């Protein structure tokens, strides 16, 4: 998160900022408070910005001016949109939440403050901390943009299993600020505080600029005396499963790589660099192959090959010769990779107890072979038959991320965006490292008691070293005071264990397991909703919406309505939850921009979101007046693009000039 009240000519003085974090059993509640005063002799606008993790849900926001509090109210998005559209017609609102970076999205709100008046902004959000590479990470973005009389970060962590490791990092922590960080942990509790004085915040002795700009990260892990931790609190339970000492399974990997013309230049260089490092990290018991797709599909070998030193060296030579060329037969490449795994298992050329997976990298939409997205999704599902997770890496922003996410979700995998930056190769390697060491496959966590309902996901295709499986559920039998879990999985040997819950746990804030259950359930319902259709999608949507409203989460189905006092009038502002597959922008600004260009679409419709990328506003204006499917106006000539209600369309992958229309994600 980052906290900032923007200044106009230094007229607003921020005199207090507090970031208060409470974690119980990986579930984090974070409250960010800023207080400021208008030092000008007239009313001025103050803006409050916070960057929060993309995996978090906003749960509350309040605005307090001279002792009067204006709360945010979470409503169904359609209801909020009607209010929003009415306000748009009066020119009175601005969107409040949008994507802000790789890990974060930004919450913003602005309000006019009278001379000498004080304002307090307070935002609360919640998330489940995910274990990666053996540690949980709490990520805090700091950027007050001025010296603050009282600045403090405080984190209290409670883990029933006991804390085994505890560390704090900060990109802005120099030799003077490092001693200001106070951290301690003992038994089940950990504590961090950071309260630099104004003098310690200065970039130099007499400077008025602040050092507090960057990332503040708390990392920790818990004791692993048992692979299980099962907790029951107030009619809900949560089960954490992370076995520590297991022998690594051999893995079988089909690397499916887009080498079409759109991968030209830095992208193909970075993909080759990352793939070279990845094959170097393969263990000799692993098997792999490399599948390339452009207008056609080619493979390094006809079958999966064992990762012997000789074969790895040959693959590196093959990788070095890869060039970008042609269109994008994504369907052909993906099906070839899946078929490689099918053939290897049928021929028993890979170990019986091993983990098989597909890793696909692409930077664009299919333009050759099968191009219908729903057909490609169906083809992948039918070919894999649930046997292999498919991990999709979307390179840059021209890719249809929602499409990649649907394929991954239907096939027990995940999608990840690779940002088109100088460190893209490291991003690719970082993702591979997460799945490099499979320990278990076909993991099933069963709870035999009849008094349990509403389980979150309890079967998992793979368990990887350094990660954690989390299952939560609701106890409907009031007489049931313990829960027994039976875990079955396949490792190098058969893995079976039975575990019973502990007594009810102490906790920092009440109902945390219930909120954790609701958080997990909503996240998983939203995933299921992305691939559902018809009545099934409507039913999933209704359930996710009901939980979002009940637990006051800002999700893609809900919005927070903030009523702000403005010049003796009340104005409505809407906070929405962005999704990774779309770019969310402040809609009022987009309406003005498009109206100024005179294009003919209904610019007041809430059903459209736009993103523009182009050389300059001349081409931008030219593009805005072109119909969908027209070629780019600048050389090289670009092929027309398909238009479908299920996807974004872009004029070209090769052209740097594009106009993209994003449809509703609901």
Residue 84 region, left (φ>0) first, then alpha (ψ -120 to 50), else beta? alpha
**Residue 616 forms part of a structural domain:** no
Q: Is 472 helix (H, G, I), strand (E, B) or coil?
A: strand
What is the distance between the alpha carbons of residues 305 and 288, in angstroms, rounded to a whole number?
5
Residue-wise pLDDT for 329-379, tens only, equals: 999 999 999 999 999 999 999 999 999 999 999 998 999 999 999 999 999
* Same domain, yes or no: 47 and 83: yes
For residue 133, pLDDT over 80 is answered with yes
Tell me, what's the pLDDT at 12? 82
Q: What are phi and psi of 564, to 5 degrees?
A: -115, 140
What letters, b where the CB count within 10 A reaches 16 and e where it falls short, cover 362-395? bbbbbbbbbbebeebbebbbebbeeebbbbbbbb
What is the distance between the alpha carbons of residues 458 and 263, in angstroms, rounded to a whole number?
39
Average pLDDT rounded to a whole number, residues 602-608 = 30
Tell me, what's the pLDDT at 16? 95
Q: Is 571 helix (H, G, I), strand (E, B) or coil?
A: strand
Average pLDDT rounded to a whole number, residues 607-612 = 29
* Same domain, yes or no: 338 and 263: yes
Average pLDDT rounded to a whole number, residues 622-649 = 35
For residue 624, pLDDT over 70 is answered with no
Share of the chain above pLDDT 90, in %: 61
Q: Mean pLDDT, the chain, as a whole number?
A: 82
Cα–Cα nearest to 388, from 438, 336, 342: 342
- CATH of residue 373's domain is 3.40.50.410
Cα–Cα nearest to 473, from 454, 447, 457: 454
* Same domain, yes or no: 160 and 17: yes
What is the distance between the alpha carbons of residues 489 and 460, in angstroms, rounded to a whole number?
9
What is the distance between the alpha carbons of residues 305 and 287, in angstroms, rounded to a whole number?
5
Among the ranges given (42-56, 351-365, 523-537), the one the predictor scored with the smallest mean pLDDT = 42-56
Tell me, what's the pLDDT at 569? 57
Tell me, what's the pLDDT at 636? 36
* Same domain, yes or no: 265 and 145: no
Contact 557, 541 (CB under 8 A): yes
For residue 193, pLDDT over 50 is answered with yes
**Residue 611 forms part of a structural domain:** no
Tell me, what's the pLDDT at 97? 60
Residue 208 lies in domain: 12-223+555-576
Tell me, what's the pLDDT at 79? 83
Say if residue 357 is exposed, middle or buried (CB neighbours under 10 Å; 0-12, 13-18, 19+).
Answer: buried
Task: Using pLDDT thresholds of 50, 70 and 90, give the confidence band for residue 89.
Answer: low
Question: How many structural domains does the chain have?
Answer: 3
Contact 390, 407 (CB under 8 A): yes
For residue 603, pLDDT over 80 is answered with no
Tell me, what's the pLDDT at 585? 28
In angstroms, how far is CA 490 from the centroid of its own chain?
29
For residue 644, pLDDT over 70 is answered with no
What is the distance between the alpha carbons of residues 492 and 512, in angstroms, rounded to a whole number?
36
* Same domain, yes or no: 374 and 429: yes
Among the ranges given (300-309, 384-393, 483-492), the one the predictor scored with the smallest mean pLDDT = 483-492
Could you give the residue ranges of the DSSP H alpha helices within 366-452? 373-384, 401-410, 424-434
Strands of the sheet with 228-233, listed across from one edge? 228-233, 236-241, 469-475, 452-453
Tell me, what's the pLDDT at 21? 97
What is the distance between the alpha carbons of residues 473 and 452, in angstroms, rounded to a whole number?
7
**Residue 583 forms part of a structural domain:** no
Between 6 and 202, residue with greater pLDDT: 202
Residue 528 CB contacts under 8 Å (≥ 6 apart), including other chains: 409, 540
Cα–Cα nearest to 157, from 27, 274, 246, 326: 27
CB-based contacts of 203-211 (< 8 A; 24+ apart in sequence): 208/146, 208/147, 209/147, 210/144, 210/145, 210/146, 210/147, 210/148, 211/172, 211/174, 211/177
Residue 388 CB contacts under 8 Å (≥ 6 apart), including other chains: 338, 341, 356, 357, 358, 411, 412, 461
- CATH of residue 118's domain is 2.60.40
**Residue 650 forms part of a structural domain:** no
For residue 397, pLDDT over 70 is answered with yes
Among the ranges given (126-140, 383-397, 437-451, 583-597), the one the predictor scored with the smallest mean pLDDT = 583-597
* Same domain, yes or no: 171 and 26: yes
**Residue 631 forms part of a structural domain:** no
Q: What is the enclosing helix (H) or strand (E) of 15?
A: strand 12-24
**Residue 661 forms part of a structural domain:** no
* Same domain, yes or no: 546 and 571: no
Strand 68-76 to strand 57-65: parallel, antiparallel, or no bridges (unpaired)? antiparallel
Q: How many CB atoms lie within 10 A of CB 266?
A: 13
Tell me, what's the pLDDT at 510? 59
Between 615 and 211, residue with greater pLDDT: 211
What is the distance between the alpha carbons of residues 417 and 422, in angstroms, rounded to a whole number?
15
Tell me, what's the pLDDT at 500? 63
Cα–Cα nearest to 325, from 653, 650, 651, 65: 653
Tell me, what's the pLDDT at 87? 58
For residue 566, pLDDT over 90 is answered with no
For residue 142, pLDDT over 80 is answered with yes
**Residue 121 forms part of a structural domain:** yes
Between 390 and 89, residue with greater pLDDT: 390
Residue-wise pLDDT for 28-47, tens only, equals: 999 999 999 998 889 888 88
* Same domain, yes or no: 299 and 171: no
For residue 614, pLDDT over 50 is answered with no
Task: Using pLDDT thresholds of 50, 70 and 90, give the confidence band for residue 242.
Answer: very high
* Same domain, yes or no: 431 and 460: no
**Residue 89 forms part of a structural domain:** yes
Task: Using pLDDT thresholds of 50, 70 and 90, give the confidence band for residue 448.
Answer: confident
Q: Is 524 helix (H, G, I), strand (E, B) or coil?
A: helix
* Same domain, yes or no: 104 and 168: yes
| Helices 617-624/587-597 angle, 10° precision | 80
Tell me, what's the pLDDT at 55? 92
* Same domain, yes or no: 303 and 185: no
For residue 592, pLDDT over 60 is answered with no
For residue 128, pLDDT over 50 is answered with yes
* Same domain, yes or no: 432 and 542: no
Residue 69 CB contacts under 8 Å (≥ 6 apart), including other chains: 62, 63
In angstroms, how far is CA 16 from the centroid of its own chain?
30
Average pLDDT rounded to a whole number, residues 589-610 = 28
Task: Using pLDDT thresholds of 50, 70 and 90, give the confidence band for residue 122.
Answer: very high
């Amino acid at each position: 998160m980052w906290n900032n009240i923007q200044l106009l000519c230094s007229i607003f003085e921020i005199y207090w900022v507090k970031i208060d974090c409470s974690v119980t059993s990986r579930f984090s509640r974070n409250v960010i408070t800023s207080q400021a005063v208008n030092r000008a002799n007239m009313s001025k606008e103050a803006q409050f910005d916070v960057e929060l993790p993309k995996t978090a849900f906003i749960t509350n926001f309040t605005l307090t001016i001279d002792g009067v509090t204006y709360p945010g109210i979470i409503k169904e998005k359609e209801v909020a949109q009607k209010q929003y559209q009415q306000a748009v017609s009066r020119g009175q609102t601005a969107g409040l939440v949008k994507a802000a970076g790789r890990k974060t999205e930004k919450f913003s709100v602005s309000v006019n403050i009278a001379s000498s008046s004080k304002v307090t902004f307070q935002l609360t959000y919640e998330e489940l901390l995910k274990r990666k590479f053996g540690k949980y990470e709490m990520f805090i973005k700091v950027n007050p943009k001025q010296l603050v009389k009282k600045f403090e970060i405080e984190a209290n962590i409670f883990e029933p299993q006991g804390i085994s490791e505890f560390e704090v990092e900060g990109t802005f922590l120099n030799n003077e600020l490092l001693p200001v960080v106070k951290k301690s942990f003992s038994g089940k509790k950990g504590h961090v505080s950071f309260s630099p004085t104004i003098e310690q915040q200065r970039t130099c002795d007499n400077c008025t600029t602040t050092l507090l700009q960057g990332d503040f990260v708390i990392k920790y892990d818990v004791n692993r005396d048992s692979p299980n931790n099962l907790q029951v609190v107030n009619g809900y339970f949560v089960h954490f499963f992370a076995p520590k000492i297991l022998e690594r399974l051999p893995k079988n990997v089909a690397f499916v790589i887009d080498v079409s013309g759109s991968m030209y230049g830095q992208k193909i260089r970075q993909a080759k660099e990352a793939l070279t490092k990845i094959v170097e990290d393969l263990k000799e018991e692993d098997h792999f192959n490399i599948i390339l797709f452009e207008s056609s599909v080619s493979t390094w070998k006809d079958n999966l090959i064992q990762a012997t030193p000789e074969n790895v060296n040959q693959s590196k030579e093959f990788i070095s010769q890869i060039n970008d060329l042609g269109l994008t037969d994504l369907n052909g490449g993906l099906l070839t990779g899946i078929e490689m795994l099918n053939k290897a298992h049928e021929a028993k050329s890979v170990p019986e107890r091993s983990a098989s997976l597909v890793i696909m990298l692409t930077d664009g939409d299919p333009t050759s072979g099968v191009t219908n997205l729903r057909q490609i999704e169906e083809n992948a599902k039918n070919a894999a038959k649930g046997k292999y997770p498919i991990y999709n890496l979307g390179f840059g922003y021209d890719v249809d991320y929602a499409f990649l996410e649907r394929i991954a979700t239907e096939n027990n995998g995940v999608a990840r965006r690779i940002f088109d930056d100088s460190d893209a190769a490291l991003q690719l390697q970082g993702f591979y490292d997460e799945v490099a060491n499979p320990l278990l496959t076909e993991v099933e966590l069963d709870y035999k008691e009849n008094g349990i309902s509403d389980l979150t996901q309890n079967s998992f295709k793979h368990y990887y070293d350094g990660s954690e499986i989390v299952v939560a559920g609701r106890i409907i039998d009031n007489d049931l005071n313990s829960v027994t879990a039976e875990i079955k999985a396949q490792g190098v040997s058969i893995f079976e264990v039975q575990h019973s819950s502990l007594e009810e746990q102490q906790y920092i804030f009440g109902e945390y397991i219930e909120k954790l259950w609701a958080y997990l359930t909503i996240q998983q319902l939203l995933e299921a909703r992305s691939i559902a259709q018809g009545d099934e999608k409507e039913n999933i949507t209704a359930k996710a919406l009901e939980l979002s409203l009940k637990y006051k989460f800002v999700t893609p189905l809900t919005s927070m309505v903030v009523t702000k006092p403005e010049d003796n009038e009340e104005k409505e502002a809407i906070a929405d939850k962005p999704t990774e597959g779309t770019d969310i922008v402040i809609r009022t600004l987009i309406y003005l921009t498009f109206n100024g260009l005179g294009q003919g679409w209904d610019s007041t419709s809430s059903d459209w979101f736009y993103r523009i990328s182009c050389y300059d506003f001349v081409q931008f204006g030219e593009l805005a007046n072109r119909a969908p499917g027209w070629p780019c106006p600048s050389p090289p000539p670009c092929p027309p693009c398909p238009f479908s209600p299920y996807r974004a369309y872009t004029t070209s992958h090769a052209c740097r000039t594009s106009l993209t229309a994003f449809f509703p994600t609901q």
